[in-house]
Amino acid sequence: MNVTLTVNGELRSASVPPETTLLVLLREHFMLTGAKTGCDIGDCGACTVIVDGKAVNACLMLAAQADGRTVVTIEGLATREGLHPLQQVFEETGALQCGFCGPGVIMTAKALLDENPSPSTQEIRTALAGNLCRCTGYVKMIDGVHEAAKMLQSTETPALAAPQQR
Amino acid sequence: MKPFGYVAAKDSGHAVALLAEYGKGAKVLAGGTDLLADLKNSPHPPPDVMVDISRAADLKGIALTDAGLRIGALTTHTEIVDSPLIADTLPALAEAAVVIGAVQTRNLGTIGGNLMTCVPSMDSGPTLLALDAQVTILGPSGRRTIPLSELFVGPRRTSLGFAELLVEIVIPKKNVGKPSAFQKFGLRKGQALALVNAAAGFWGGDGVFAEPAIALGAVAPTVIRAPKAEAWLAGRPISEEAMAEAGRIAATEAKPITDFRASAEYRLDLIAVLVKRALAGAHARVTPNQKDLAS
């Protein structure tokens, strides 16, 4: 079957078998391997992407169900001007160690910040409950989301600055 | 996943027509959080055709109608959590929705899917059952409405017949606004199945437990009511002691099992505690003249 969807601002199409998940579509047809295949049953959150503004497990959605929708993956966050504040903070503070969970954590955090620009620590913890990390203990991630929230609200953030500043 | 066919339903009527056309080989796909996860691990052959109802707009939405509070079967848990109408009338429904899975699964999973998967630990069940929810079912011969209690047959078994589809859940008008609360105990705060969950509601404006209702999950083959505890409470003055005693009575009405998550004895203790807490939570929502305002 044919599916057509907007991925990171670009209209993309593919012909896939019906049992193809959104995760397989992204990774194996569009070669966007940022979203990871972890548990593949919706427990670990490594496959998290944003569909029509909501963080979802790409492993639990059929590609057919994403037809016509707008999907944002980790590959869609950085701009010419620089990394997204979440990416920048996570990199600078060592909020990730092995990094496997990172794309999922960052996409979940992005969906949270899009809806709630200054979340409380509890709100961040609740949002990240579906993203398992076996390295870090989560503390630097939670601090990082707070920090990125502050950066997003300031105009100094490179990724958000006006193009003429380049 | 093993290969299967796929067809998208435009609306509920189309879905029923497709289910009738494809017969026993068809399976309804809503949010997919249970179904797709199960399919990936299942040794059984996949369905011939997946009837995807996730775009059927008539199955969505939360609204007050003449019959009561109507929740479309395809309403996601996140939509229930975010609904101002539910926050205003029956916050216990949001308390149950917000502890299902994690953000990602709440954004996909639906209330109808949670009921239709019909596992005893479902978090949507107790509050709806305690509020005497009705469910509307659409089939080849038309619509029928049954009490939610008659939908549940056993673990992963509902009373839906051939080519039938759950289309909506209605909390009857008399219970919209009834003070109620939901409690869940899992092994973690996030992303855990309930060891036990419980919901309770009553009208308390006159200082007594009026029309008390108690429902329990994960302690019997289906979500159940606790009629003995309800009968014992009815008409008694509101007190913490009475809430605790109702919890103890409710525990005698359940038949929990021992599994790798918890022993039956532990679950019996949890029932007593969670029923007491749910009753206290409902009591915190009691205001004078509430019942008169609701009806």
Dihedral sign computed on CA atoms, order B9, B13, B14, B15 = positive
Q: Which two tokens stand for residue B84?
A: 């101002």
Both A66 and A89 in a single domain? no
Amino acid at B33: T
**Could you please report the per-residue DSSP string of chain A?**
-EEEEEETTEEEEEE--TT-BHHHIIIIIS----S--SSSSSSS-TTEEEETTEEEEGGGSBGGGGTT-EEE-GGGT-BTTB--HHHHHHHHHT--SS-TTHHHHHHHHHHHHHH-SS--HHHHHHHGGG---SSS-SHHHHHHHHHHHHHHHSTT-GGGS-GGG-
What pLDDT score does A164 carry? Answer: 45
Interface subset of B 244-263, CB within 8 angstroms of A: none
Give me Rg for the CA atoms of chain A.
Answer: 16
What pLDDT score does B288 carry? Answer: 87
Non-local (6+) Cβ contacts of B178 within 8 A are B90, B131, B201, B202, B203, B211, B291, B294
- Best mutation target among A15, A19, A124, A131 (most B Cβ atoms within 10 Å) is A19
* Overall number of domains in chain A: 2
CB-neighbour burial class of residue B190 (10 A; exposed 0-12, middle 13-18, buried 19+)? middle
* Confidence tier at A155 by pLDDT (50, 70, 90): low
What pLDDT score does B295 carry? Answer: 58
**pLDDT tens readout for residues A23-39:** 999 999 999 999 999 99
Report the CATH number that the domain containing residue A136 is assigned in CATH.
1.10.150.120
**Could you please report the per-residue DSSP string of B151-184?**
TEEETTEE---TT-EEEEEEEEGGGTT--EEEEE
The predicted model gives B203-210 an average pLDDT of: 96
In a domain, A166, yes or no: no
Both A61 and A89 in a single domain? no
Other Cβ atoms closer than 10 A to A164: 5
In chain A, which residues touch B (CB < 8 A)? 1, 17-19, 21, 40-43, 45, 48, 54-57, 59-62, 64-65, 108, 111-112, 126-127, 129-131
Both A22 and A65 in a single domain? yes
What pLDDT score does A160 carry? Answer: 55
Domain boundary among A76, A101, A124: A76
Cβ within 8 Å, pair B101-A54: no
* Confidence tier at A10 by pLDDT (50, 70, 90): very high
Q: What is the mean pLDDT of chain B?
A: 97
Report the CATH number that the domain containing residue A69 is assigned in CATH.
3.10.20.30
Identify which of B5, B32, B41 has the shortest CB distance to residue A60.
B32
The parent domain of residue A41 ranges over 2-76
Both A9 and A70 in a single domain? yes
Identify which of A17, A56, A62 has the shortest CB distance to residue B104.
A56
Both A6 and A68 in a single domain? yes
Both A61 and A6 in a single domain? yes
In a domain, A163, yes or no: no
Both A95 and A142 in a single domain? yes
The predicted model gives B10-15 an average pLDDT of: 98
In a domain, A95, yes or no: yes
**pLDDT tens readout for residues A64-92:** 999 999 999 999 999 999 999 999 999 99
Identify which of B50, B104, B189 has the shortest CB distance to residue A18.
B50
Both A118 and A66 in a single domain? no
Both A66 and A93 in a single domain? no
Domain boundary among A46, A76, A106: A76
Amino acid at B79: E
Percentage of residues of chain A with pLDDT beyond 90: 92
Percentage of residues of chain B with pLDDT beyond 70: 99
Reported ipTM: the value is: 0.94
Domains of chain B: 5-52 (3.30.43.10), 57-175 (3.30.465.10), 180-286 (3.30.390.50)
**pLDDT tens readout for residues B212-263:** 999 999 999 999 999 999 999 999 999 999 999 999 999 999 999 999 999 9
- Residues B199 and B96: beta-carbon distance below 8 Å: yes
In a domain, A161, yes or no: no
In a domain, A41, yes or no: yes
Both A89 and A127 in a single domain? yes
In a domain, A119, yes or no: yes
Domain boundary among A76, A99, A133: A76
In a domain, A48, yes or no: yes
* Confidence tier at A156 by pLDDT (50, 70, 90): low
Both A69 and A110 in a single domain? no
∠ Cα B83 B87 B90 (to 5°): 115
Both A113 and A54 in a single domain? no
Q: Which two tokens stand for residue B171?
A: 């909390």
* Confidence tier at A166 by pLDDT (50, 70, 90): very low
In a domain, A91, yes or no: yes
* B94/B78 Cα distance (integer angstroms): 9
* Confidence tier at A162 by pLDDT (50, 70, 90): very low
**pLDDT tens readout for residues A85-126:** 999 999 999 999 999 999 999 999 999 999 999 999 999 999
